[in-house]
């Protein structure tokens, strides 16, 4: 019962921007949109999260559609180190405990070409 849909894979060129899409058409009003990434042979790494407004941090930007049914993770300038699996996850803050747990899907495997 995956709540988000992401492309299986994407390719990017080094030093170019990357837009990673995520569809979440059944999102509820209390679902936060979280993004994590997992580099090869490492644990997942938190990237960014948001509720309604676009968010920026040192790693990336998160653009959230006005109807909240989709979002886009933006890497402004891809580097080889950004090659990873990117996970888009919804997390309902109305639930305590592991009902508000992060449920990881298959994510998008991003390849970055030199």
Binding site for other proteins (CB under 8 A): 32, 34, 36, 42-46, 49, 91, 93, 96-98, 100-107
**Angle made by CA atoms 108, 113, 114, in degrees to the nearest 5:** 150
Smaller CB distance to other proteins: residue 13 or 28?
A: 28
Smaller CB distance to other proteins: residue 6 or 70?
A: 6
CB of 89 to other proteins, least distance (A): 10
Smaller CB distance to other proteins: residue 52 or 101?
A: 101
CA distance 78 to 80: 7
CB of 72 to other proteins, least distance (A): 19
Count of beta carbons in the 10 Å neighbourhood of residue 14 = 14
Contact between 24 and 70 (Cβ < 8 Å): yes
Smaller CB distance to other proteins: residue 49 or 68?
A: 49
Locate 6 and state its tokens: 């992401």
CB of 77 to other proteins, least distance (A): 22
Q: Are strands 84-92 and 45-50 parallel, antiparallel or unpaired?
A: unpaired
């Amino acid at each position: 019962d995956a709540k988000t849909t992401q492309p299986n894979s994407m390719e990017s060129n080094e030093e170019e921007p990357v837009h990673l899409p995520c569809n979440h058409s059944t999102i509820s009003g209390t679902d936060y949109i979280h993004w994590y990434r997992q580099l090869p042979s490492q644990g997942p790494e938190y990237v960014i999260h948001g509720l309604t407004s676009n968010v920026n941090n040192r790693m990336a930007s998160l653009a959230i559609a006005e109807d909240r049914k989709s979002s886009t993770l933006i890497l402004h300038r891809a580097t080889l180190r950004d090659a990873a699996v990117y996970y888009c996850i919804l997390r309902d803050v109305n639930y305590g405990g592991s009902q508000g747990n992060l449920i990881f899907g298959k994510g998008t495997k991003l390849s970055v070409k030199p």
